[in-house]
Amino acid sequence: MACDRGNSAIFIGVMYMYAIRYSAFFSAALSVLLLSGCAGYNPLAHPQSSYRANLTDHVISVHEFSAQAGASGESGISSGSAMPGQLPPPAVTGTYSFTVPYTVTSFKKSTATYRQYLLYNGRPTANQKPFCVLTVAAKVARNCRNSLKFNVSTKRTFILNGLAAHEWSGYTNSGNPFAELIVSHLGGGDKLDALAIATNDQIRTMALKILSSIHWTPDTSGQ
């Protein structure tokens, strides 16, 4: 009887060890399956949050001209005519902004009809040309229309940080890649034209980040 009890105890002990091993194996297999599922996650199949390009540097803001009343009292915003007996829709104003690295030198030009920022890489010399020019005005003209200097190879229309964007890109006659954007917002008002010309890969990367950081914030101070 004592021998049978001993054999039974040994049998139970062996079965218990096998149960522990199979449990550990099952847990490991489940972990591998879960990790495989995470590795196969497709971000394009799920909605993603939009965000501005973050250069971890300073932001340049450009207030619209339409925020300043003209001599005639008009806001400068192009809007549809109001029906008889209706008030015209309120003017939607705001601020364009873009982010540049601290290594960039910017010069601002302002006239009665436009605001313009000229961006240079580092401290500019007397004969150095800006690698990027951004202009805010009620009407902006596309610079790359000049076929004697710009050769447009591709163009597209897309949404840039909530803005309607038209883009033209190609090469200058000097062989440097360029990209020009004209962006506008739903409120009408001023548009922003940005032309970037890259003379090397470093400036090309920096220019693309600056163009992708263009943003518009509506003015809600009057609400």
pLDDT tens digits, residue range 185-214? 988 889 999 999 999 999 999 999 999 999
Q: What pLDDT is attached to residue 222?
A: 60
The DSSP 8-state label assigned to residue 200 in this structure reads S
What element of type H or E holds 2? helix 2-39
Q: Where are the domains of the chain?
A: 2-44, 58-71+91-218
Asked if pLDDT for residue 147 goes beyond 90, the answer is: no
- Of residues 220, 197, 168, 205, the one with CA closest to residue 53: 205
Asked if pLDDT for residue 43 goes beyond 60, the answer is: no
CATH number at 58-71+91-218: 3.40.1000
Q: What pLDDT is attached to residue 12?
A: 53
Lowest mean pLDDT among 10-24, 92-106, 132-146: 10-24
Question: What phi and psi, each to the nearest 5 degrees, are found at residue 75?
Answer: -85, -20
Decide: helix, strand or coil at residue 211: helix
pTM greater than the 0.85 cutoff: no
Question: What are the pLDDT digits (tens) for 82-121?
Answer: 445 555 555 578 899 999 998 899 999 999 899 999 999 9
User: What ranges make up the beta strands (E) of 161-219?
Assistant: 163-172, 177-185, 188-197, 215-218
Q: What pLDDT is attached to residue 182?
A: 96
